[in-house]
Amino acid sequence: MQPRLRHAIAVSALAISAATAAQAQDVVNVVCVVEEWCEALREPFFEETGIRMEFLNLRTNESLVRIRAEASNPTFDVFYGGTGDPHFVAAGEGVTEPYESPMMAELSEDMLNAVNGAYLPLYANPIAIVVNPAVLEEAGAPMPESWEDLTDPAFRGLIGMADPNSSGTAYTVIATLVQIFGEEEAFELLAGMHQNMATYTRSGSGSLQPTGQGELGVAIIFMSSALREREAGLPIEIIIPSEGTGYEISGISLVANGPNPEGARTFIDYALSAEAQDLGTQAGSWQIKANVNAAPAPGGPRLDEIAVIDYDFEHFGQPDVQTGLIARWTEEIFPVPR
């Protein structure tokens, strides 16, 4: 009886997992970070290819954790969106595999070079200085043109930025400054900006709305949401600092050994098409799209129109570099009374 019981357990486990695997081949399973965008792609993708796209909305790092955990028996085919770092890590660990998409001919060469084949670029989003001119005028501050300008005491109490301990946006700002000025000078600059800070927000774009409402004069944030809100009528201006600015490149990756690799490739090709990228803009993702034929967001620039720095994604994406810089900021800048 005993061996048979054990056998029975094994059989039932097998039977159940076999039934799970027996799901249809005409489905692509996507781990999706940008929910509205994926939702917008689902119907058109089905109409064009006859393949159903199912997605699970997870946050960037959760997605990585999920794909990593399932590496031996993946249930997902594609990892879509989110910041670039986890795509780099996934490619390094081999849980995603490189894919030479035919659509690469249509993608921005700068973005392709920056990610260096680790994944396929989906969009780029630069850091920008967003200002409310009326507030600056009232406070007697000039229009800032560079990162240096933000240390001018005229901006005292006017600037809002995210807290790097709670948001990746602020880390991108710190990494950008370190790459432009070198670490020592960058931290002097950050110390100067600290004196002008009105608030460190909890979320990345938390200072945008207060700036539009005239509560703050300057917000340091990713550009896409500022573009969208400017179009919605906020009286803001978007400034790219003269020293250049950093950016993030979001990506799309093919999961290694996924259940439906053919469908996954079809989906990736589709997602990188100008048509699919335009759907993203319509769904409210106003970043600079990787496909050069995609229409730019209303009022939005192309990547080659703005002074972006040669951002070293590989180095500054490493967790220990990241923790080190944030720790230094927390030690040396955050506690200084202002």
Partner 1 sequence: MADLAQTPPRSLSRAIPLGAVPVWSGIALLLFLALPLIRTGRRFLPLDYMLHPLSLGAGLHWAPAVAAFAVIALYLRPAPRPAQARRRADMAAVILSLGFVGLWAALFSAGTPFGWGAMGASLALCIAAGSALSESNRVRGDAFTGAGILLTLLFVTLFITYPLVMVIRSAVWIEGVLTLDQFRATFSSSLFLFVDNRFTEVNEARMVAYWATAGGAVALAWGLWSSRAAALWRRAWMVPLWVGAGLIAGWAVGIMIWGRGALPSTLLVAVIVAPAATMLGFALALLGQRTNSRAVRGILGVASVLPFITPPFVIGFSMIFLLGRRGLLSHDILGISPFANPLYGAPGVILAQVLGLAPVAYLIIRGSLNSLNPALEEAAQTLGASRWRVFKDVTWPLVRPGIAASLLLASIESIADFGTPLVLGGDRNFLATEVFLALTGRYSQSEASVYGVVLLFLVVLVFIASRWMLGVKGFATVTGKPASGAFLALPRSLEWILLSLAGLWFAFILSLYGVIVYGSVVELWGINNTLTFRHYIEFWNTGWPVVWYTMKLSVASAIPAMMVGGLIAYLVTRHRFWGRSYLEFGSLLSFATPGTVMGLAYILAFNDGTLLMTSTSAIIVLALVFRNMPVAIRASMSGLAQIDRSLEEASATLKAGSGTTLVRVLSPLLLYPLLAGLIFAFVSAMTAVSQVIFLVSAGNNLATVMLLARVERGQLGVAAAMATVLIVMLLALIVLLLVASRYLDARNRGKGLSI
Question: Does residue 24 sit in helix, strand or coil?
Answer: coil
Residue 102: CB minimum distance to partner 1, A: 30
How big is the CA angle at 59 (ends 101 and 71), to the nearest 5 degrees? 60
- Looking at beta carbons only, is 12 or 113 nearer to partner 1? 12
Dump the DSSP string for 37-86: HHHHHHHHHHHHHS-EEEEEE--HHHHHHHHHHTTTS---SEEE-S-HHH
Q: Where does this chain touch partner 1 (CB under 8 A) — which range of 104-112, 261-269, 293-301, 330-338?
A: 330-338
CA distance 49 to 46: 5
Rounded to 5 degrees, φ, ψ at 28 are: -105, 125
Inter-axis angle of helices 60-69 and 84-93, nearest 10: 10
Rounded to 5 degrees, φ, ψ at 58 are: -130, 160
**Is position 291 an interface residue for partner 1 (rule: CB under 8 A)?**
no
Residue 86: CB minimum distance to partner 1, A: 9
- Which residue from 199, 257, 273, 322 is in contact with partner 1, where contact means CB under 8 A? 199
**Is position 3 an interface residue for partner 1 (rule: CB under 8 A)?**
no
Q: Where does this chain touch partner 1 (CB under 8 A) — which range of 210-218, 246-254, 258-266, 291-299?
A: 210-218
Q: Where does this chain touch partner 1 (CB under 8 A) — which range of 12-20, 256-264, 270-278, 304-312?
A: 12-20
How do strand 120-131 and strand 237-239 relate by DSSP bridges? antiparallel
- Whether the CB-CB separation of 198 and 150 falls below 8 Å is answered with no
Q: By rule CB under 8 A, what count of residues binds partner 1?
A: 60
Residue 93: CB minimum distance to partner 1, A: 15
**Is position 209 an interface residue for partner 1 (rule: CB under 8 A)?**
yes
- Which residue from 94, 142, 214, 324 is in contact with partner 1, where contact means CB under 8 A? 214
Q: Is 35 left (phi over 0), alpha (psi -120 to 50) or beta?
A: alpha
Burial of 79 (0-12, 13-18, 19+ CB in 10 A): buried
Site string for partner 1, 79-118 (x = CB under 8 A): ----------------------------------------
**Is position 248 an interface residue for partner 1 (rule: CB under 8 A)?**
no
Handedness of CA 179, 319, 206, 303 (dihedral sign): positive
- Which residue from 208, 254, 268, 290 is in contact with partner 1, where contact means CB under 8 A? 208
- Which residue from 51, 150, 198, 252 is in contact with partner 1, where contact means CB under 8 A? 198
- Which residue from 77, 149, 229, 248 is in contact with partner 1, where contact means CB under 8 A? 229
Which pair of tokens denotes residue 15?
A: 């039977």
**Is position 5 an interface residue for partner 1 (rule: CB under 8 A)?**
yes
- Which residue from 182, 202, 262, 293 is in contact with partner 1, where contact means CB under 8 A? 202
- Which residue from 49, 56, 101, 328 is in contact with partner 1, where contact means CB under 8 A? 56
**Is position 11 an interface residue for partner 1 (rule: CB under 8 A)?**
yes
Q: Which of 251, 286, 237 is nearest to 126 (CA)?
A: 286
- Looking at beta carbons only, is 191 or 256 nearer to partner 1? 191
- The residues near 26 (Cβ < 8 Å, ≥ 6 apart) are 50, 51, 52, 263
- Which residue from 165, 195, 273, 322 is in contact with partner 1, where contact means CB under 8 A? 165
User: CA dist 158 to 148, 173, 301, Å?
Assistant: 15, 18, 26
Q: Which residues bind partner 1 (CB under 8 A)?
A: 5, 8-9, 11-17, 19-20, 22-23, 35, 39, 54-57, 59-62, 65, 135, 139, 156-158, 163, 165-168, 198-200, 202-203, 206, 208-210, 212-216, 225, 229, 232-235, 330, 334-337
